Amino acid sequence: MSARLDVRKTYKLFIGGKFPRSESGRTYEVSADDGAFLANAALASRKDAREAVVAARKAQPGWAGATAYNRGQVLYRVAELLEGRRSQFVEEVAAGEGIKTKAAEAAVDAAIDRWVWYAGWTDKVAQVAGSANPVAGPYFNLSVPEPTGVVVVLAPQSSSLLGLVSVLAPVLVTGNTAVVVSSEKRPLPAITLSEVLATSDVPSGVVNILTGRTAELAPPLASHMDVNAIDLTGTVGAEGVAWGELEAEAAGSVKRVVRPRDSEPDWSQLPDGPRRILAFTETKTVWHPKGM
Amino acid sequence: MSFEYAPAPESRAVVDIASSYGLFIDGTFVEPEGGKTFKTVNPATEEVLADVAEAGEPDVDRAVAAARRAYDKVWSRMPGSERAKYLYRIARLLAERSREFAVLETLDNGKPIRESRDVDVPTAAAHFFYYAGWADKLEHAGFGPNPRPHGVAAQVIPWNFPLLMLAWKIAPALAAGNTVVLKPAETTPLSALLFADLLRQAELPPGVVNIVTGARETGSLLVNHPGVDKIAFTGSTPVGKRIAAEVAGSRKSLTLELGGKAANIVFDDAPIDQAVEGIVNGIYFNQGQVCCAGSRLLVQESIADELVDRLKRRLSTLRVGDPMDKNTDVGAINSAQQLERITMLSQAGEDEGATRWTAACELPEKGYWFAPTVFTDVHPAHRIAREEIFGPVLSVLTFRTPAEAVAKANNTPYGLSAGIWTEKGSRILALADQLRAGVVWANTFNRFDPTSPFGGYKESGYGREGGRHGLAAYLAEGSAL
Amino acid sequence: MTASVSSATSDARTGADGSSSDTEKVLARARDVVGATELDDTNLARYLHGLPGVDKVGADGRAAMLGTRSIKTTAKQWALDTIVSMIDLTTLEGADTPGKVRTLAAKARTPDPSDPSCPRPAAVCVYGDLVHVAKDALAGTGVKIAAVATAFPSGRASLDVRLADTREAVAQGADEIDMVIDRGAFLAGQYSKVFEDIVAVREACRADGAEAHLKVILETGELATYDNVRRASWLAMLAGADFIKTSTGKVQPAATLPVTIIMLEAVRDFRELTGTQVGVKPAGGISSSKDAIKYLVAVNETLGEDWLNPDWFRFGASSLLNDVLMQRSKMRTGHYWGPDYVTVS
């Protein structure tokens, strides 16, 4: 009997809760670490990037307006579905990163646990980073962290799932929405993650994922006037990208910028506190008099 | 034409109640060594629901030993992220089985099914969900870089919110890394025993949670057991004082959540319709059997008559009756004993000269029932202004100025909660500063959230449950200096 | 500054018979309640802003709790029949034709061809220039004809134009007039203008022997705050409204349960104070039986029996009727119904 032919997946972009092809009609070849053909991924254009920002902005008030408990439940649900797709992710990560199954399993397990860790922060960040301030006068004074808005995330080039989760989840915790530029050479787990997001309770537009050339997509996003913050982590190891230039572009609308490290971090280490969450928040301080 | 609501009964069939239950120790149900049992009844009908084991000294020993083993060998060695995932499982299972738990809670406690369904069970599930997220973040909770649990926690809970109080105790204890021996109240053991079954589904390692049913003696054995590192008690102030005395001189850590006689303060500029709802919610929710109940209405004298008229009109629309009916607002009193106390204190109110008014309602023949009651012309010297009645009885006092309101509100050995009704924000905040109460509700009442610390001043106890502060009780670094 | 109401009424006094003394009574009562001889912006503001505030979270909470009532079996049957009898079956489209109005009227006459025991709605509600069509079509049925007037839905036209609009509908035989208040004037604090408008329209409803009842649409979606809903309710009732109505249905949000409850509380307190009973009509956005039943529960628990009939409570709706008919059929037969089995209108 001949071997059964598998039905291969088509990898498209994830924008506004839907899976469109690039408006440019372009794709590019994604190969395994050993050069074998894996799939054609959509080669996103600056127009796709613009659409993604529109979708993220539209979804942001609703996501920020949900209770912290609700956001936590939604994010936890994503972890439940990630767990269900574990073997699919293990295959994609192993093939794309050229690592053994055992290492891929460790990475996927860590990614799921990382997502759970962040889900548990939604209703705690305010308690850790907020405060009632004892001003010298008859005033009630309260500081609370609020989401900054729409965040562009350049996902790590090398760690295609664990690294991706480690930069995406913290953005969502307080109610930001995200436009993610996936790893250029290892984009496939990002789209499979999109499938998980599309079938969980994450509202459309909260996460948008573009696959393609970092050098092509990062500049229009860095200079986009309706983006509030940008995470430049994915510039490490990206072709034709200088993160300093992107930071300079971002200054045009005073975006909050997270600079990359010199090299891609060891994502297996648990984050050192909620710093990655707080990088994408604003602190709101309110005064109110106290008097009978 | 009047709009009569037809009966809308919730079905009992969704939950299985066994005819008898053992003790849940080390992951299984076991018979009590002394073989003693007691019955738990449905307070709305006096029907016996089940036989329940009474844990004696050997049983308590066994439970504490199981908790200690589980702590030493399993739970204290488990990374926080794994503990977290057990707690998330529990939260999700509770949400999945919420209907079973709600029905069981109503049958065993007497509270309306609407409350069990909409408040008790969802809040309990949320509590587990919240604390699950702390289990792997303790170093960021403000207790130092490496806070440690106490070890074995003994927890004794009351009958007014059986499942919710269980969640308030077990969730933070486990999140912090402790193991637990919990004693539910004598009249409401069933939801805790169903919870044990839920732990089976969650595959929680044996011994991490142990449930020993019994009455006062079991509680005393548990609290005095030398193998216990931490005690958490919610219940009456007299019993809390006794426990504090018994624990004195030892190294056991103790937190107490006791009684209250909260003042609900209504100013002349209050949003009046919402204030009436808040007063009603404050004292008739859960049949007034709430430690933080707004049992003293302090109303500004200039609007007192109008407010009381509106209140009485509103009370006449309260539906008192079968707790299993989805339209019931006020259910049964939890026990004959509690009913007797409420009756006795209400009589004292009349004897001392207060004016008694009761909503007209038909009370069922069987079961323990008390119609919502309001006393006006109450003064601070009256018993019904000072003693916790723990029933659907409101005492109305008046005040002239904000300062007088504060003085009257604080004039009590209790200090659990308070309510403020006014449209003036600055007054709310100034008053909140001056009220000696652990929880202040402004333009609302009886709001609970897992993120919001709850606990009392003075004889209402010490320690907080809920929020980041709620971890303190269960961490060595949050407790003794 | 703004003309006080006394000069407006002296104009009216030269007009109709009977209506002016009725107007005088309304004005006298308003002066009495407000505690001023001049019903100008300042005095009206003092009174309206002195009404108790509404806490939004508390009000929403009360509505949510009332929404948990479980209405089953005999109670549900009664509720569904009552709801039908309270519906003002409505068509208010620019594209309305006599044919469309006749179809609607036919539906009001025979809501459920398969069940003759089905009650008729209280009224049909149409634009003023189509009143005569509805009137002919519904002669002898007891179904009232309600007309929207006063440059519905925006209300942005001169008083003369709005009164002419009203008079024409009344002359064609409308039993009820649904007017809109000037929301711009209200939000700008020109309470006396809003008040005078209502008084004038009310007179037009009662001119020349006519006895059209006046419903005053507050357009609560544009008033935005619950405090404004309470104030506008009182302003309308002081000016003599027979009914206060939430919305035109042309603006989102239209009727909501919390807003309606605030209006129910207002009519309750108004009757307590003055002895006069005023009706309430939520309109727009109520399309399911389940939602309509919640409103009925709210009336029951806020006001009681006295308001639980079509004389004092109405639903402004179009698609609600078919949903209720399907629910009625389901209760009668035991199985779920489908849209093929109820008639379009």
Chain B residues with CB-CB distance to C266 below 8 A: none
C76 is a catalytic site residue: no
Residue C19 scores a pLDDT above 90: no
> What digits encode the pLDDT tens for the residues B188-200?
999 999 999 999 9
A124 and B468 within 8 Å at the Cβ level: the answer is: yes
Measured in angstroms, the CA of B151 and the nearest CA of chain C are apart by 42
- CB-CB contact of C146 with C184 (8 Å): no
Chain B residues with CB-CB distance to C62 below 8 A: 273-274, 277
Q: What is the DSSP string of B34-82?
A: T--EEEEEETTTTEEEEEEE---HHHHHHHHHHHHHHHHHTGGGS-HHH
Query: What average pLDDT does this structure show over C313-340?
Result: 93
Query: What average pLDDT does this structure show over B34-46?
Result: 96
Mean pLDDT for chain B overall: 97
Q: Band the pLDDT of B477: cuts 50, 70, 90.
A: confident
B6 and C71 within 8 Å at the Cβ level: the answer is: yes
Q: What is the DSSP string of A244-290?
A: HHHHHHHGGGT-EEE---SS---TTSPPSSTHHHHTTEEEEEEEEE-
Q: What is the CA radius of gyration of chain B?
A: 22
C178 is a catalytic site residue: yes
Residue A1 scores a pLDDT above 70: no
What percentage of chain A reaches a pLDDT higher than 70?
Answer: 100
Query: What average pLDDT does this structure show over C19-35?
Result: 92
B57 is a catalytic site residue: no
Question: Smallest Cα–Cα separation from C290: which of C257, C248, C314, C338?
Answer: C257
Mean pLDDT for chain A overall: 97
> What digits encode the pLDDT tens for the residues C233-282?
999 999 999 999 999 999 999 999 999 999 999 999 999 999 999 999 99
Stretch (H or E) spanning C183: helix C183-187
- Higher-confidence residue of A137 and A33: namely A137
Taking the C-alpha atoms of residue A174 and residue A66, their distance in angstroms, rounded to an integer, is 10
- Between the alpha carbon of residue C87 and those of residues A145, C82, C137, C245, C310, the distances in Å are 49, 9, 18, 13, 8
Residue C289 scores a pLDDT above 80: yes
Query: What average pLDDT does this structure show over B96-117?
Result: 98
Residue of C nearest to B424 (CA): C53
What pLDDT shows up at residue B480? 73
Which of A73, A123, A133 to substitute to test the interface with B, most B CBs within 10 Å?
A123
> What digits encode the pLDDT tens for the residues B18-37?
999 999 999 999 999 999 99
What pLDDT shows up at residue C18? 52
Q: Band the pLDDT of C2: cuts 50, 70, 90.
A: very low
> What digits encode the pLDDT tens for the residues B46-82?
999 999 999 999 999 999 999 999 999 999 999 999 9
B126 and A290 within 8 Å at the Cβ level: the answer is: no
Residue B61: partners with Cβ closer than 8 Å, 6 or more residues away: B225, B227
What percentage of chain C reaches a pLDDT higher than 70?
Answer: 94
Which of B136, B137, B440 to substitute to test the interface with A, most A CBs within 10 Å?
B137
Contact A/C (≥3 CB pairs under 8 Å): no
pTM value? 0.95
Question: Smallest Cα–Cα separation from B277: which of C62, C297, C67, C56?
Answer: C62
What pLDDT shows up at residue C344? 85
B1 and C305 within 8 Å at the Cβ level: the answer is: yes
> What digits encode the pLDDT tens for the residues B245-266?
999 999 999 999 999 999 999 9
Chain C residues with CB-CB distance to B3 below 8 A: 75, 78-79, 82, 296-297, 300, 305, 308
Question: Smallest Cα–Cα separation from B221: which of B85, B33, B466, B394?
Answer: B33
Mean pLDDT for chain C overall: 93
Q: How many helices (H) and strands (E) does chain C have?
A: 15, 8
Query: What average pLDDT does this structure show over B177-204?
Result: 98
What pLDDT shows up at residue A2? 75
Taking the C-alpha atoms of residue C318 and residue C103, their distance in angstroms, rounded to an integer, is 13
Query: What average pLDDT does this structure show over B183-191?
Result: 98
> What digits encode the pLDDT tens for the residues B397-422?
999 999 999 999 999 999 999 999 99
C266 token code pair:
């207002």
Residue C4 scores a pLDDT above 70: no
What pLDDT shows up at residue B481? 76
Measured over the CA atoms of residue B100, residue B101, residue B106 and residue B109, the dihedral's sign is positive
